[in-house]
């Protein structure tokens, strides 16, 4: 049973108060010496925690003390070590984004939820879509387009009417955002090993930004996306409320 717990909390009043109460019961270990991280907040804070502590690759057990808690367990003050000991692990493999800008620079970033492209002005984006080096859409006219992991498929992807992907499916969702042409194209489900390439057509008149989770790169001309082969993070979920069950239930929400 892990005893060396590092507590991290969002800056909200409720999350900070919960951290004080939990530290009083269990003590607090620096992340560098911990066996597990307990994150207190919402899904946004969980994503920041995953990014911030990727180098340590510790399992993360989240408790909901925020607005949205799809990636979190319910908050309870008692029995935390026992809950962590019986929690079920879910391994997340992020997307690796490489974005090339108008200035010729190249930026890489990781995304546990999705990589999204969005128009920067009132002008619709014109995007060429290639998969594994083969052009599949010569010109997509849209507000944007995204590639989502299974864990992120119930977030922005679902809001854009993309499919919900079960965990362990080894799939990605390719979802357009307000497509104008081809009007009837609603996206695709891709094998996780697919290499996705977006080329921005007429980037000077129709500028586009690329975002990996919350990290944004503006004025991109080309974006490459693939599943990371090097990096993983593990989330811990209570057996009665695990992420796979939530993804299944989400498909029956009206």
Residues annotated as catalytic (active site), given as ranges: 43
Question: Using CA atoms, how far apart are residues 244 and 150, in angstroms rounded to an integer?
Answer: 10
- Dihedral pair phi/psi, residue 134, rounded to 5°: -115, 125
C-alpha 35: how far from chain center: 23
Helix (H, G, I), strand (E, B) or coil at 131: strand
> ∠ CA 119-124-129 to the nearest 5 degrees?
80
Q: How far is CA 135 from CA 140, 151, 226, in A?
A: 11, 27, 16
C-alpha 215: how far from chain center: 11
Please give the structure tokens belonging to residue 167.
């965990």
Strands of 18-124 (E only): list them: 36-41, 60-64, 88-92, 95-101, 106-111, 114-119
Q: Number of C-alpha atoms within 13 angstroms, CB side, residue 177?
A: 21
Q: What are the residues whose beta carbons fall under 8 Å from the beta carbon of 196, sequence distance 6 or more?
A: 129, 130, 131, 147, 172, 174, 190, 224, 225, 226
């Amino acid at each position: 049973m892990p005893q060396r717990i590092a507590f991290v909390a969002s800056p909200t009043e409720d999350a900070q108060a919960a951290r004080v109460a939990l530290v009083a019961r269990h003590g607090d270990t620096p992340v560098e010496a911990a066996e597990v991280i307990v994150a207190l907040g919402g899904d946004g804070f969980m994503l920041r925690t995953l990014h911030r502590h990727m180098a340590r690759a510790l399992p993360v057990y989240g408790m909901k003390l925020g607005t949205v808690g799809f990636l979190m367990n319910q908050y309870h003050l008692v029995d935390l070590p026992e809950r962590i000991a019986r929690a079920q692990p879910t391994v997340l493999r992020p997307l690796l984004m490489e974005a090339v800008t108008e200035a010729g620079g190249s930026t890489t970033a990781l995304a546990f939820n999705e990589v999204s492209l969005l128009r920067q002005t009132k002008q619709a984006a014109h995007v060429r879509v290639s998969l594994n080096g083969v052009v599949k859409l010569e010109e997509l006219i849209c507000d944007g387009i995204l590639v989502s992991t299974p864990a992120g498929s119930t977030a922005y992807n679902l809001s854009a009417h993309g499919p919900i992907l079960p965990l362990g499916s080894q799939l990605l969702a390719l979802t357009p955002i307000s497509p104008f042409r081809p009007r009837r194209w609603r996206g695709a489900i891709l094998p996780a090993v697919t290499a996705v390439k977006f080329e921005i057509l007429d980037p000077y008149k129709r500028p586009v930004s690329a975002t990996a989770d919350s990290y944004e790169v503006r004025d991109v001309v080309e974006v490459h996306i693939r599943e990371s082969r090097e990096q993983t993070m593990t989330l811990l979920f209570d057996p009665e409320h695990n992420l796979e069950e939530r993804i299944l239930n989400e498909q029956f929400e009206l």
